[in-house]
Each structure stands twice: as C-alpha cells, then as structure tokens.
Homo-oligomer: A and B are copies of this chain.
Amino acid sequence: MAKQITVGIDIGGTNTAIGFVDRNGTCVFETSIPTKEYADITPYLKNLAGIIQKELANKPDLQVVGIGVGAPNANYHRGTIEEAPNLSWKGTVQFCSLLGNYFPTIPVTITNDANAAAMGEMIYGAAQGIRDFIVITLGTGLGSGIVVNGDLVYGHDGFAGEVGHTTVFPNGRQCGCGKKGCLETYVSATGMVRTMAEILCNSNKPSKLRDIPYNEITALAIELAYKDGDELAKECFEYTGQILGLKLADAVCHTSPSHIFLFGGVAKAGKLIIEPTKRAMEENLLPIFKQKITIAQSGLLNVNAAVLGASALAWNELEK
C-alpha cells in the first residue's frame, strides 16, 4: 500500500525549502531551491513543481494527499501571496491555483509562516491535543498564530494573528510596517538588539557588548553574554520579557488560551526569556486568568519546523 505524505513548502526570501512529510512528522525527502534567483513566478513554479514531480516518480511507494505552503503575506482564504516585501514577485500572486495547475488532483493550501508554525505545533509539536493556544515566533520579527477551539484564526480577510503589530508605546520605535511602537520593535531578535543599544547608552556598567558594533550584535550574542554573567545582557532579557508578558496578558484577554508556545531563535534561550515573560504576564493578567496559562518552548525548535508547519497545514485541511 502506498505511504501517504503531504508536501510542505516554506517560501523564504532567500530559499524555498521543500519536504515530503508523513502523518507522524517524519520527513522522507527534503530539498531546497533559491527563491531569490527567480525574479518571475512562472519559471520558479515550473522548477518547484518539476522537482516534486521528479522525486515522486522516483518514489512510487509515496502518495501525495495534499500540499501545504507557508509564505510571507500569504492569504489562506484567497490562496494568494500579496505584496510580500521580501519576495521579488510583486502584487498579488495566485499561488495556490498556479501551483495547482501542476497538481490538478491534489489540494494546495497556503498561509503565512507564523500560522504554519502554529499548525506544525498542533499536528506534530507541543500543542498536540490542545484546543486553545498561541504560537509566538521570535525571529527577525514577531509572528503569531492563534488557535481557538482547535481551529487557526484567519479572520475575515485571512490576515489574523498579527500580534507583533499591536502597539506597546504609541510613537515608540519605528517599525518596518510603517507604524511606530509595535511589539516586534521591542520583542524579536532585532528588537532585542535595539533594546541592548538603549541599555548600553543609559547605563555606565561594563559590558562585553560595548566592544561589538551595533550591526554585529545579535540576540544570540546577548544570550551568551547573559550566560557569561553580563548584567546588562540580563537586563535586556528582563526588559524583553516585561514587554512580551504585558502584551501576552492582552492577548489572553482576547482568546483565553491555555498555552502559549515560543518559537524561533530567541525562544532557544529557554527560561532566560520564558521566566521574565511569565512573571510580567501574571502581573498584568485579569485575576480570573492568573496561574492558568503555560508559557513553554515550541516542541519543534530543533527540527525543520517551517517545512513541518507547511505540511501540517495540508494534513489539517484533510482532517477538518
């Protein structure tokens, strides 16, 4: 009997990762193509589809039952990628129908990266069996996927789950989205670098990070400095957790999740980020929500979560 798999496709500005994933989350094939080398969508899709078709021809024991795609600015309802700033395909790309032309019998579903991460968490990760949770992805920006009663929240337009662009301080730090004071300008890998620079200029305590140019400071460098006893690096994590906890308390007021999972590079710092976040969230929670909510690391931190998330999206469609 053929082994059922879904194809997970994660489209990043630099590379597109492709994986064949079974229902248990085992990746039976993985490859990638360089997204940025395709200024036009047509040859990109032709190559992408060609690679998948060729590999399937080599593996007659596999049966593809769905294709899931994670991409920036992807719209689940419309099957499109719309005005993605880091991709060279401008305007609205009818991604699902264009890719579907190559696979007419297979359903193709798309959503944004953070929603795909939430799906991955639900199907393969730490959120298995949990019906109300939020995944926060802490990378260059702050993405979020919100699950209510077992379903991902898409909203009327397909763009729900943008907690990174809630406002912390009106007229605060300039955000890439055009607004000021967005959560992701404080809580993300780049937000932490901004905070570190602010702490370095406001304090006169010594710190190793004073010897690194702004452009070379990373969240990982701050984490390593913290672990090495750097007080200002610790302060940076504390501040980041305070802001994240404050805004997670707001998020809880909306959908009342039982769990919040942190994903992405910054989440690898574990308790260094989770403890101050949890403390600040509890301080800011409405009493009826206190001491009920688990904040934990994603269960997919050390695997190819983006491809797994995209493939989970496809499994979820089949199981709806």
- How many copies are assembled? 2
Residues on the B chain within 8 Å of A132, using CB? 155-156
Residues on the B chain within 8 Å of A162, using CB? 253, 256, 286, 288-289
Is A64 an interface residue when CB atoms closer than 8 A count as contact? no
Check A179/B286 contact, CB under 8 A, given A148-B155, A151-B149, A246-B167. Answer: yes
Is A146 an interface residue when CB atoms closer than 8 A count as contact? yes
Judging by beta carbons under 8 Å apart, are A157 and B292 in contact?
yes
Judging by beta carbons under 8 Å apart, are B166 and A253 in contact?
yes
Is A165 an interface residue when CB atoms closer than 8 A count as contact? yes
Say what secondary structure dominates the interface of chain A.
loop
Is A159 an interface residue when CB atoms closer than 8 A count as contact? yes
Q: Which of B151, B156, B287 contacts A257 (CB 8 A)?
A: B156
Judging by beta carbons under 8 Å apart, are A258 and B156 in contact?
yes
A134-147 vs B, CB cutoff 8 Å, 1 = contact: the mask equals 00000000000010
Could you tell me the distance between the alpha carbons of A73 and B246 in the complex, rounded to whole angstroms?
Answer: 23
Check A253/B131 contact, CB under 8 A, given A156-B258, A284-B170. Answer: no
Residues on the B chain within 8 Å of A258, using CB? 156-157
- Can you list 8 contacts pairing A with B, beta carbon distance less than 8 Å? A148-B160, A149-B151, A153-B255, A160-B255, A161-B253, A161-B254, A162-B253, A179-B286
Is A249 an interface residue when CB atoms closer than 8 A count as contact? yes
Tell me the nearest residue of chain B to A158, going by C-beta: B256
A236-259 vs B, CB cutoff 8 Å, 1 = contact: the mask equals 000000000010011101111110
Q: Which of B153, B163, B287 contacts A148 (CB 8 A)?
A: B153
Could you tell me the distance between the alpha carbons of A246 and B85 in the complex, rounded to whole angstroms?
Answer: 25
Is A154 an interface residue when CB atoms closer than 8 A count as contact? yes
Q: Could you list 16 further interchain pairs (A-B, Cβ under 8 angstroms) beyond the known A153-B255, A164-B253?
A: A132-B155, A148-B153, A149-B154, A155-B255, A156-B256, A159-B288, A159-B289, A162-B286, A162-B288, A163-B254, A167-B250, A170-B246, A170-B284, A177-B286, A178-B287, A254-B254
Q: Which of B163, B170, B287, B288 contacts A253 (CB 8 A)?
A: B163
Residues on the B chain within 8 Å of A170, using CB? 246, 284
Could you tell me the distance between the alpha carbons of A161 and B286 in the complex, rounded to whole angstroms?
Answer: 12
Residues on the B chain within 8 Å of A166, using CB? 249-250, 253-254
Could you tell me the distance between the alpha carbons of A62 and B165 in the complex, rounded to whole angstroms?
Answer: 51
Could you tell me the distance between the alpha carbons of A257 and B157 in the complex, rounded to whole angstroms?
Answer: 8
A286-299 vs B, CB cutoff 8 Å, 1 = contact: the mask equals 11110010000000
Residues on the B chain within 8 Å of A246, using CB? 167, 170
Residues on the B chain within 8 Å of A286, using CB? 162, 165, 177, 179
